[in-house]
Amino acid sequence: MRKTAHELTAPIKNRLKKIPEIEDWTATIINVELMAVGCNLIDKNLKLGEAWSLLTGYDEPVVPLGADKSILSRLRIIFSQFTGQSLWEREMEDYFELPSIYRLIDRTDEGIISFLTPRYDPNRKEDYENILTQPISRKTTDLEFAKAGKFSYIRRKDNIQQKFQGEIPGQWVFMNSHLPHYREKKSIAFDLSFDWMQIAKEMDTLLGEGKDEWQNKVAPLLLKSRSEQSTFVYEGVQHIGGGLAAGKSTFRTMNTYWLVKTKKAKVGLLEGNVAQVLDRVSELRKLGLKVVSLVGRGNRRLHLENYLLSNPVTSLNEITNYESLSHLSDICTIQALAGDVNDDGSRHYPCKSLKQKDDRSPKKCPLTSHCGIYKEWGQLLDADVWVTTPGAVLHSRLPVTIDPQERLLYEAMYDLLDVIFVDEADQVQKQFDEAFLEEHSAFGNPKHLVEKLYGQLNETLQGNYDLADNDLLTQWGKNLDHLHESVWSLYAEIKKSTTLRESLRNKVIYLNYLIFEISQDLSDDEKLQEKMAEEMREFVRNSTYTSVVNLDDRLHGLINLASQRDKQTLINNWISKLGGSIPEKNKASQLYSKIEFFVYLAHIERAMKWILQFYPVVQHYLNNNVEIPLLTQIKDFRPFMKEAMTGVMLGYRYETKEGIDTGEFKIIQYMAVGRQLLNEWPYLYEAADGKKGPTVILLSGTSYAPKSLHYHIEVEPQWFIQSSRKPSRLTQDFIEIRDPENGEKLIPVSGVQQQGRRHSNLQVIVKEIVSKIRAELHYWKEIEEERKVLLVVNSYDDVEIVGVALEQFPEWKGRYRLLSQKDKKNEIWFPRSRVEQFSLENADILVAPMLAISRGYNIMDKYGNGALFGSAFFLIRPYPVPNDLSYFVQILHGNLPLYFEEIANNNLTYAEAMRKIRKKSRGKFEDMYRKPDYWSILTDQERTVLAWFTFIPTWQLIGRLLRGGKDARVFYCDAKYMEKPNGKPSLLEYWEKIMSESENDSLFVSLYGPFSRSIGTINKVGVF
């Protein structure tokens, strides 16, 4: 965490506080003046009223090319709370109400900044400039290590503060050396003619097994340049494409070995999951490298269970051979010494809250080298290679015991590593995007956000009257009170209206869409609807705690009214004023409930957004023992990221449990453009700190996907990996499965609305292809390959339905398995964590959801020579989940370069440019949210985006069948694959179209060759 505005400006504030006339205005004075000085340093013609646009994280073309990025980045660090235009304008209004004798800043009629000489503290402009022209350093936690002997700590358990005590053994105490603040980056390059075979021989010698494992792997590998470069330079972002099984993993491992052994570089590897992290650590340690696995604190127990499931232990002696077990422990040694059992389900880590004897200052734990959680982290200083996951990179912090700055792992990798390899880069881009599209429990339960906020504020203020004059905390408390009142009113309305409850159940609600619905309910006239919608949007902007006293026709007063008759009168007056139609009695009740719900949700959202924006500032005063991920996760990244393209947007999901009337609300918060952290990792902090980041190598077989808004990575690949092996041969067929009752109509599954019919159609398809499955197994046996069959569906629920169908055939008894997320202790169910060991299972068929195994798994035959599965039946057309927010947001992010191009062409900058981006983004989002995504009504561009979205996971799964250069056969079964609604091309035809559009692109062909060559000759076959 970096120094805050409060800390940076403390000397100025202390001086201004001595002036009685402006004592209560010092925060506003400093905010506006520091911002104005920064704006003037960036662009002397920038209007002060547009300053908020600088803070949204968007550079060119929003901020003109040539602007001082260092000043810009420091303004963003200091003022991240002012990304909203209205908050900034209110701050300016308060400032300009002060007499000019106290002000450093004035503005012309056009809003351009001019400087005054204030009567008091006249030279403070220089202080502001000094703040902005120096890097803003990270804060350090200066704690001493605890010593051997007795200790105690306090934590809240079962909502009660409890004291735990223990004793630290002297022989266990080890004071870890701290990590450095920064390591200078190495300049590294290699020529394309470099002899990697020599490195492979060296690696094989180290393994000492008398095999040529690495020599065999590197022999067919070719690295090619798209621009005739002859030297590969480790600098910035290097995006390398590579077809499935082309040798990307080999390239990465050999480069890692070479970089460490020859160039003394520090290397990071991002793996797709924890199991892959453990495999990579084991592989690299066998090569003599010092490697650490960095697994986050969350879900360690689950990872451990999965590991033991895929690596069963039959005796106690075997445990000593499983080094990986130590990487997944979730045991805190200090808690164990104190007898503190986490039986309440909460997690508390007293790493920096130990007390000893009569010393009131907290101490940090000296047992990192014995810690079940942080033992590996304690070895970071000497490690050659850090191996981790995307989730840990974004969410995990280094413990204070090794890093007094408590950096996020992402930050530490920027500061301390030379090269980072990112595997499955397009999937990591998606994960980074989704990391800032978070869902959190908000209200409706004592452990949820609102209740935690109350607890945090109460613990801070209880008996602490020194804070009584703190305006910010006063505002914080008023907004919290208002939030609580609005939540109470919301639940009162939900409790009394069965219709409202049912309409909300398990749906995501957005205020803008609610506004759209209400405007349609009140009028049939489109112009009037838009006028009403704008009135309601203005209502939302004014829904503050001060507005509820207005018992007028603006509806705010509903919160303070108890009588239902009075509420309805107020609503009717409001409808009449808007020019809408008051509904008849039989429809009125439902509309009144919807309008009341809108009013309360508007007030909740307004209070929530204020809290979200100001939490980083207010947190300085609050009790930090309360952990609120929704408010803290983005705090460190926020100044360096592009804000959500729509502006920060909240959605609300109302979840209910069977038999309980009152549900709980979850907030879905779209906060930022997460993929920026991947594409700009090498230089994210360079402007702010003047320090260069690591080289980032992006590797994937599907990250080059022209016209895909979900998988294509903006940084174009300049390199690609090819294999000299004979390419795999893929055949693709569409099976025409007709309705047994009429023999004409093909059977669909995807898009069938009625759940019962969808299930029965899926089971009919399974029954109809049984003979085809039998024939495929016979085919592979005939050519003397022990290959198996994969039945691919869309979800684990679908897996169960297919299982019911297969159960009807005695010949398949014991010969099929159903993939499960966890171990169901049932022979027919096969846990996903063991899927790479399916060759050892006495079964011919595996039923699995596509996304469960399409990436990250090498499911090989029992000899390890090639893919186990030879045939795949795609039983259901893949399709986005309705109103999938991740799907929408990635489309927005994919469109951002087009929006940039438009505002550049129109010479828009600063506030105008940001308003344009937000307006287009909100319009696009609302259009996607309102419009059904039926294939038949999509535009050509929308169908292309959707075709790519469905193709990539399909191709990734087919890739599981092509491992080791094997051939494969796939069959599409759902009628929707070939359906041509209203004469529009089918999904399979769109897949052919996107292949043919890039048939002359050598990189594209190297990535998708087997599919591209076979999709054009797809056969329609019958069932036999």
Looking at the fold, whether 780 and 698 belong to one and the same domain comes out as: no
87 vs 744, residue with greater confidence: 87
- Give domain status of residue 483, yes or no: yes
- Compute the average pLDDT of residues 483-501: 86
pLDDT band at 588 (very low <50, low <70, confident <90, very high): confident
Same domain, 660 and 628: yes
Mean pLDDT of the chain: 89
Q: What is the pLDDT of residue 554?
A: 65
Q: Is residue 159 part of a domain?
A: no
Task: Please report how many Cα atoms fall inside a 13 Å half-sphere around the Cα of residue 306, on the Cβ side.
Answer: 20
602 and 620 belong to one structural domain:
yes
At 196, list the tokens. 């990697």
Write down the pLDDT at residue 343.
64
859 and 973 co-located in one domain: yes
Question: With 80 as the cut, is the pLDDT of residue 298 above it?
Answer: no
Distances (CA, A) of 214 to 220, 267, 721, 859: 11, 20, 17, 20
**Nearest Cα to Cα of residue 413 among 438, 434, 436, 392:** 392
Q: If you average pLDDT over residues 428-448, what whole number do you get?
A: 85
In which element (H, E) is residue 355 found? strand 354-356
Report yes or no: 305 and 313 within 8 Å, Cβ to Cβ.
Answer: no
* Helices 910-930, 885-905: crossing angle, 10 deg rounding: 140
Residue 576, H or E segment: helix 564-578
Does residue 552 register a pLDDT over 60?
no
Residue 855, burial from CB neighbour count under 10 angstroms (0-12, 13-18, 19+): buried
User: What pLDDT does 359 receive?
Assistant: 85
Q: Is residue 488 part of a domain?
A: yes
Closest to 288 in 3D by CA, of 386, 205, 183, 389: 205
Binning pLDDT at 50, 70 and 90, where does residue 608 land? Answer: confident
Q: What is the pLDDT at residue 803? A: 97
- pLDDT class for 312, splitting at 50, 70, 90? low
The whole-number average pLDDT for the span 337-349 is: 75
Q: How far is CA 24 from the centre of its chain?
A: 40
> What pLDDT, in 10s, does the model give residues 810-826?
999 999 999 998 888 78
Q: Tell whether 598 and 744 lie within a shared domain.
A: no
Percent of the chain topping pLDDT 70: 92
d(CA 198, CA 208): 16
Least confident of 345-354, 791-800, 947-956, 1005-1014: 345-354
Report the pLDDT value the prediction gives residue 127, as an integer from 0 to 100.
97
Q: The CATH number of the domain where 412 resides is what?
A: 3.40.50.300
Give the containing element (helix H, strand E) for 816: strand 816-820
Residues 962 and 856 in one domain: yes
Residue 380 lies in a domain: yes
Q: Are 348 and 625 in contact (CB under 8 A)?
A: no
Q: What is the pLDDT of residue 242?
A: 93
Q: Which of 30, 26, 84, 32 is nearest to 55 (CA)?
A: 84
444 vs 255, higher pLDDT: 255
Cα Rg of the chain, angstroms: 31
Give per-residue pLDDT as tens, 7-29.
Answer: 999 999 999 999 999 988 999 99
Residue among 237, 195, 178 nearest 416 (CA): 178
Residues 624 and 739 in one domain: no
Average pLDDT over residues 962-975: 95
Q: Beta 437-443 vs 664-670: how paired, if at all?
A: antiparallel
Q: Give residue-wise pLDDT tens across range 220-254.
A: 999 999 988 999 999 999 999 998 878 999 999 99
pLDDT at 881: 86
Paired residues of 1020 in beta bridges: 734
Helix (H, G, I), strand (E, B) or coil at 477: helix
Do residues 1002 and 721 make contact, with C-beta atoms less than 8 angstroms apart?
no
> Is residue 141 domain-resident?
no
Look at residues 132, 151, 166 and tell me which one is the last residue of a structural domain.
132
pLDDT digits (tens, 9 = 90+) for 923-955: 999 888 888 778 888 999 999 999 999 999 999
Q: How confident is the model at residue 311 (pLDDT cuts 50, 70, 90)?
A: low
Of 89, 109, 132, the residue that ends a domain is 132
User: Which is more confident, 468 or 386?
Assistant: 386
CB 789 within 8 A of CB 773: yes
Within-domain flag for 86 = yes
Which 3 state secondary structure label does DSSP give 407?
coil
Q: Verify that 946 and 914 share a domain, yes or no.
A: no
Cis peptide bond prior to 61, omega within 30° of 0: yes
Neighbouring C-beta atoms of residue 186, cutoff 10 Å: 15
- Give yes or no for residue 318 having a pLDDT over 60: no
Tell whether 951 and 809 lie within a shared domain: yes
pLDDT band at 159 (very low <50, low <70, confident <90, very high): low
Least confident window among 53-62, 287-296, 652-661, 962-971:
652-661
pLDDT-based confidence at residue 541 (cuts at 50, 70, 90): confident
Confidence bin at 308 (pLDDT 50/70/90): low
CA-to-CA distance for 155 and 178, rounded, in angstroms?
27
What is the rounded distance in angstroms from the CA atom of residue 821 to the CA atom of residue 830? Answer: 9
Confidence of residue 120 (pLDDT cuts 50, 70, 90): very high
Convert 47-62 to b/e letters by CB count within 10 Å (16 or more is b): bbbbbbbbbbbbbebb
Q: How big is the CA angle at 126 (ends 120 and 129), to the nearest 5 degrees?
A: 130
pLDDT tier at 158, thresholds 50, 70, 90: low
Reported as a single tens digit per residue, the pLDDT across 29-38 is 999 999 999 9
3-state secondary structure of 719: strand
Flag whether 791 is in a domain: yes
- pLDDT score at 633: 58
Taking the chain, what is the end-to-end CA distance rounded to the nearest angstrom?
A: 66
Q: Which residue has better confidence, 359 or 761? A: 761
> 421 pLDDT exceeds 60?
yes
Instruction: Say if residue 224 is in the same domain as residue 316.
Output: yes
416 falls in which pLDDT band (50, 70, 90)? very high
- Position 303 scores a pLDDT of 58
Which residues have a Cβ under 8 Å from the Cβ of 1019 and sit 6 or more positions away?
732, 733, 734
**pLDDT above 90 coverage of the chain, percent:** 60
Specify the pLDDT at position 63.
97
What are the helix and strand counts (H, E) for the chain? 35, 28
Report if residue 295 sits inside a domain: yes
Structure token digits, residue 983: 């004469």
Question: How many folded domains does the chain comprise?
Answer: 5
Please give, one letter per residue, the 3-state secondary structure of 72-90.
HHHHHHHCHHHCCHHHHHH
Do 994 and 904 belong to one domain?
no
Pure H helices in 712-789: 755-782
Q: Which of 64, 99, 132 is the last residue of a domain?
A: 132
Return the minimum-mean-pLDDT range out of 282-286, 324-328, 597-601, 854-858. 324-328
β-pairing, 354-356 vs 359-363, is antiparallel
- Whole-number pLDDT of residue 349: 83
Domain that holds residue 103: 5-132
Mean pLDDT of 764-788: 96
Q: Which of 212, 45, 234 is nearest to 695 (CA)?
A: 234
When pLDDT is averaged across residues 710-736 and rounded to a whole number, the result is 94
Residues 549 and 689 grouped into a single domain: no
